[in-house]
Amino acid sequence: MRFGANAAVRMAFIEPDSVKACVSLGGIVHSILTDSKKLQSVPSMHLDMLASRMGRRLVSGTLLTALQALSLKNQGLLAGRRTKVPVLAVSMKNDPVCPEADSRLVAMYSQGGKAMILPDKPLHDGYDRAIRESVDWFAKYL
């Protein structure tokens, strides 16, 4: 989920023989890492988490520059070759952290990949469905 999905999807590309299936739940994979307007629309809690993961005490203007290196598209993973690992990319409608375009991008570069956009209201139902779909996805491929 979120930044963990970035690492999981990255592993699906870098170590495809070690990963049988992957699920990205609201993954931070590209847009928020490269677009300053999107980054500004993200809740402060998420910005603090990103700054913390980067080893920074404060969220500053240089954070976007540092974050761009974490974009899976900028790393060349979501551009060109596809991974053989089936990836389910789940996002919720109007998610400021994981827009629909990011989920579709992840699914497009996965053989057998699937993007799933869930309604954002009611929130609890979306999360419940995301977990159920993830369990079904893993049951199918593991």
Q: What is the CATH number of the domain that holds 51?
A: 3.40.50.1820
As to burial, measured by CB atoms within 10 angstroms (0-12 exposed, 13-18 middle, 19+ buried), residue 41 is exposed
The first and second tokens of residue 67, run together, are 């974050």
Task: Give mean pLDDT, residues 20-46.
Answer: 88
Q: Give 7's pLDDT tier (boundaries 50, 70, 90).
A: very high
* Residue 115: per-residue pLDDT: 97
pLDDT per residue as tens digits for the range 50-108? 788 778 766 666 777 888 889 999 999 998 889 999 999 999 998 888 999 999 999 99
Q: What's the confidence (pLDDT) of residue 59?
A: 65
Q: Which residues of 47-74 are buried (b: 16+ CB within 10 A; e: fewer)?
A: bebbbeeeeeeebeeebbeebeebbbbe
pLDDT at 66: 82
Overall number of domains in the chain: 1
Residue 90, domain extent: 3-141
